[in-house]
Amino acid sequence: MDFPKSSTFPPSIVLEKSMGPNPLKLCEELLDGVGLPAGSVVLDLGSGTGLTSVLMAREYGLMVYAADLWSEPGENMRFFEGMGLTNRQIVPLKVDATALPFATEFFDAVVSVDSYNYFGRDPAYLGTCLLPLVRRGGMLLFSIPGMVRDCHDDLPACLLASWTPEQLDYMHDMVWWRRNLEQTEGVQVVDMHEMACTAEAWADWIACDNDYARGDRAAVEAGALDYLNTIAVVMRRR
């Protein structure tokens, strides 16, 4: 696939800042065709080291709040400034996804790349914690690591080469996620599909030189991507 916006990032930055399958490519594919207007106020939920936040602010002209529990705002802001952005374009925050400190209907959109499966598995989460923060007519865009088909009752050896059954319990298929999300009133699932860049994003990740990427390499090389996918979810608040 072509990723003209992601390709503006130096490869060294992507290798250094990635925390999983290439978040830039996942984010660009997720946003492609959605048409968020420049200037939209967006929550990057589970923003990690801020790669996706920079992409949205710099390449799409969005006003981004980069929210993550495990990253340091000061470190992220230095990265953002090094990428030519100011606090008028992007704001880093250290917050829990279940206790987001924003006003009702504050955001035009919420984007979550490679993180929603950590806090959104409880079907009450969407309606209780997240949806009230989005204006009516606003969008919720998720890129969720998932399974082609749920196989928790008979986990393939290739998956267990890198991950425990407890870790794999964070991964589910589209049927499971549709059932989870459609329990929430006041939101329309506009689209849900397998993302095309999954294999490419994983290849970029296992090429990284860190312990987490090396740990995942065994499963991928043993054939894990026959069982794993990435699920794009596009929703609109009614």
Residue-wise pLDDT tens digits, 79-132: 999 999 999 999 999 999 999 999 999 999 999 999 999 999 999 999 999 999
What pLDDT is recorded for position 190?
A: 98
**Whether the predicted pLDDT of 49 surpasses 90:** yes
Please determine, for residue 198, whether its predicted confidence score (pLDDT) is greater than 90. yes
CATH topology of domain 6-150+171-201+227-237: Rossmann fold (3.40.50)
- What would the pLDDT profile of 217-227 be if each residue is shown by its tens digit? 999 999 999 99
Does the reported pTM lie above 0.95? yes
Taking only the tens place, the pLDDT of each residue in 20-43 is: 999 999 999 999 989 999 999 999
pLDDT digit string, tens, across residues 148-181: 999 999 999 999 999 999 999 999 999 999 999 9
- Residue 205's pLDDT is 98
Q: Give pLDDT tens digits for 66-84.
A: 999 999 999 999 999 999 9
Confidence category of residue 233, pLDDT binned at 50, 70, 90: very high
Residue 228, pLDDT above cutoff 90: yes
Q: Which sequence spans correspond to the domains of the chain? A: 6-150+171-201+227-237
Residue 1: predicted pLDDT? 85
| pLDDT score for 161 | 98
Question: DSSP letters of the chain?
Answer: ---TTGGGS-HHHHHHH-SSS-HHHHHHHHHTTT-PPTT-EEEEET-TTSHHHHIIIIIH--EEEEEESSS-HHHHHHHHHHTT--TTTEEEEE--TTS----TT-EEEEEEES-HHHH--STHHIIIIIGGGEEEEEEEEEEEEEESS--GGG--HHHHTT--HHHHTT---HHHHHHHHTTSTTEEEEEEEE-TTHHHHHHHHHTS-SHHHHHHHHHHHTTGGGTEEEEEEEEEE-
pLDDT value for 81: 98
pLDDT at 13: 97
